[in-house]
Structure formats: structure tokens, C-alpha cells
A and B are shown apart, each in its own frame.
Chain A
Amino acid sequence: MTMATAATTDPMLPQPYSVRQVVKETPDTFTLTLEPSNGAGGSRFQPGQFSMLWVFGVGELPISISGDHAERDRLVYTVRSVGQATQALVSCAVGEAVGVRGPFGIGWPIEQAQGRDVLVIAGGIGLAPLRPVIYEVLHNREKYGRLVILYGARSPRDLLYRKELAAWVRQRETQVLVTVDYGGLSWRGHVGVVATLFKYARLQPARSLAFACGPEVMMRFVARDLETHGLDRKNIYLSMERNMKCAVGFCGHCQYGPHFICKDGPIFSYDRMRPLLEKYEL
């Protein structure tokens, strides 16, 4: 086996990428665009998949891909700086090297959504793994029904992708509703948890597929409410998160009940997750 072949087939071997751009989204969240250092085309991915990003000398992190899967010359990640490794990652300068493994995991079942209304429900940084779904629907508008985006954040200053949110509102057959848990007096949007937006969503539950990503407790409430609004459990998909290490199902760090989140997920249907979501010890 040649070195080149080993590099492209060994999932444990990071590929060299360099930072092309860093955009500050919120006070603690940044979007990084990476491009292959060796000039060999970017990695193909499915919306909802994740990569393992190596910050050399610091550590490795599982990060969902938040870019457009039609743009194959780059990989885009939105990262919240909450610890040493994420802080090091978002502090990378343009041109700096980052190792990339992946993409890994099973993404959103976007093909199942064709011909149906698509409901995207995101909380906080959970909008990042859902942004590729939004791009897919907007680029292939004729394949899908209505697109409804419900997005909740902690406060107005924590909202991601503000310019894009404003642009998505103007797209045909698209409804975008944003809410915050804590609104200042200058905020003119909705205040309340993301589930309170359902009543304003214009969609047909029986012909809709819902994709939700956010803190697990948020998804638990959201999935239950979606069911109350008439969506079948099989048509509700959640992006689960655990401590991914190897990303290929060997190490067991991300085991969740009978599942390995890295290999069997991170996207699961609610009917598979429901029994586990209600267990305290998991």
C-alpha cells in the first residue's frame, strides 16, 4: 500500500488542512473554513456528518460540518469556544494547519424529505449541523415542500448566521421563526423556548419530516411536542451527541444504550431514541 492510499483510507489518520477563514459569529462562537493543504480536493460529506479536528499540540475534537456540501473544495465548521481545545481551534490564524479525520457518521435522511415539508428545529449552536440541510433544500427547491426553520437561542447576541437568517426569510416557500430565552428591551422578536414557535409554523404535520438539533433536554421536549402536533415518531430525527473519540465505533466512548453515536448516528429517529432519552442514568 502506498503512502497516498494509506492516507486516504485510514480513518485514524488526520489529513492536513489549512485555515482559509475565521468568522466570529457570536462572542464565543466562530466559523472556520478549512481547505486541503495538499491541493487534493475536499472531502465529500452528507449533511449531519461530523469530522474529528486535530489541533496540533492540543487535542482532537468532534465537530459537525456546517457548510454547504455542494462546495467540495472546503470544509466549514462552527465551533463554540468552551474549553482549551475549542479555544485553541477558534484561535487558529489563517494559513495555520489543522488535521481532519472523517467525515464520520450517518447524516440527516434528506432523501426521505423529498416531496415533503421540511421542519428544521435548532437550539443554540444546534443550527450548525442543520445548516447543510437548509442549503440542500434551498439549492434544490423543486424537490421539497415548504421549509420551516424554528431557531431558539439564549439571547439575541447568541444568534448564529444572522445575515443568512435574514436572507432565508426572503426565500420562497420558506418560513423562518426565531426566538430567544432572554430578550432585551430592544429585541422585537419572539421571547420563549423554541417549542413555543410550533403554533406559528405553517406546515402539514402528516407530510412533514422534522430535523432537530440542540441540547438533549431541548430535543426531548421538542420531539414530544412535535408528536403532539401530529408528526409520527419515525418522521422526527434528532442529532445526538456524546464524547466521540475514535469516531469509528472502536473505543466505546460515545456508547449510548446499544448505540455508538459516532458510527450508528449521530442522527437517529425519535422512535429509536425515545426510550433512551427518558432514562436518567444515560
Chain B
Amino acid sequence: METLERIIAEHPFFAGLESPYTNLLTGCASNVRFDAGTYIFKEGEEANEFYLIRAGKVALEIFAPQRKPIMLATLGEGEILGWSWLLPPYQWRFHAHAVEPMRGIALDGKCLRMKCEQNHDLGYEMLKRFAKIMEQRLEATRFQLLDVYAVGR
């Protein structure tokens, strides 16, 4: 049977993370499962966890008044969902809903914030990894904004 620590250590987001840190993370981790169509979190709610996606597909959505929700991106196996737990005011900025049944690991943000404060090396490892994800998603969003397939481009 796979242990949580092993699953965390093998997830691409934590590739190369030393064993003492994965051990610390495991103390804040739990298995989760969401059925297709269910919301994992909604904009404005407290952001107290993030997710390592092991299987399935999750859509990030944004709402605007008098418009249908807009799907900004989808995330799948091997990716992480959520970084609002990391920065004040610790509130979700978007909706996330499972497009396909989602199976993953939830990491308790409060627990993790406390461990990162106590162990700055762990905090730095976490920030480096999240900064990389933020950079990739920012770039993808900028590229999306170019609307390169529109007529006349």
C-alpha cells in the first residue's frame, strides 16, 4: 500500500525534496476525492489547504456579473491546485470544480504555514516551488491573452 509520504515524495511538485521535509509535509496531508461536478472551493472562502492532483481534471473558473462563468484553465494529474493558502488574506480568488472525478492529497495550509514559520528551510523550498508554478501560469495566461488564433493576427 502506498504511504502518504511516498505519494508526496513522488509527486512532480515535490521532486527532489529531501526526506525530512516530505516527512514534515506528511503530517499535514490527507487523501481527498471529489466527484465530477462538485466544487472543491469557491471564491471568497477561506483558503486553508492546497491539493496535489493525482488523477482527474479540475477547472478554475471566474465569475462576472450577468455573464456565464469563464473557465480560465484546467489542471490535471501531476499538478497542484491552490496557492491562496500561502498569502494573506488566505481566501480563494477563483472557483475550482472537478470536471472529472478528482483524486489527490490535501495539504493543510494552516499546519503548513506553522511548519514553514518554524523551519525556514522548508518555507524556502515551498516558496521556490510555488514561485515556479506562479511563473508558469502567469506566462500561460499572458500567452492566452494574446488570442493568437483570432482572425487578423
Binding site for B on A (CB under 8 A): 28, 80, 82, 123-124, 152-154, 158, 179, 181-185, 187-193, 195-196, 199-200, 214-215, 217-218, 221
Contact = CB atoms under 8 A, between A and B. Distances in A.
Query: Top 3 nearest A-B pairs by Cβ distance?
Result: A124-B149, A154-B149, A215-B148
B148 A217 contact: yes
Given A185-B69, A200-B76, A200-B77, A192 B144 contact: yes
A81 to B, nearest CB: 9
Nearest to A219: B148
Nearest to B70: A182
A82 B151 contact: yes
B149 A196 contact: no
B151 A193 contact: no
A185 B71 contact: yes
18 contacts: A80-B151, A152-B149, A154-B147, A181-B144, A182-B71, A183-B59, A183-B74, A184-B68, A184-B71, A185-B69, A187-B71, A191-B74, A192-B74, A192-B144, A193-B143, A195-B143, A215-B149, A218-B148
Interface residues of B, number: 27
Contacts of A193: 140, 143-144
**By CB atoms of chain A within 10 A, which of B12, B59, B140, B149 has the most?**
B149
Contacts of A152: 149
A137 B143 CA distance: 31
Q: Please classify the interface of chain A as helix (H, G, I), strand (E, B), loop, or mixed, using the class held by over half of its residues.
A: mixed
B65 interface: no
A259 to B, nearest CB: 22
Contacts of A195: 140, 143
Nearest to A81: B151
Contact of B149 (A181, A190, A192, A200): A181
Contact of A158 (B12, B57, B59, B149): B149
A134 to B, nearest CB: 20
Contacts of B57: 188, 190
B97 to A, nearest CB: 10
B73 A196 contact: yes
Nearest to A221: B143
Interface string B67-107: 01111111011110000000000000000000110000000
A184 to B, nearest CB: 8
A181 B70 CA distance: 11
A124 B148 contact: yes
Contact of A188 (B100, B140, B143, B147): B100
Interface in B104-146: 140, 143-144, 146
B152 interface: yes
Given A191-B72, A199-B12, 14 more contacts: A123-B149, A154-B149, A181-B144, A182-B71, A183-B59, A187-B71, A192-B144, A195-B140, A196-B140, A214-B148, A214-B149, A217-B143, A218-B148, A221-B143
A82 B152 CA distance: 8
A190 B77 CA distance: 12
A80 B153 CA distance: 13
B140 to A, nearest CB: 5
B150 interface: yes
**By CB atoms of chain A within 10 A, which of B57, B68, B78, B140 has the most?**
B140
Contacts of B100: 188
A179 B144 CA distance: 12
B72 A190 contact: no
A201 to B, nearest CB: 12
Nearest to A183: B71
Contacts of B74: 179, 183, 189-192
Nearest to A192: B73
A199 B149 contact: no
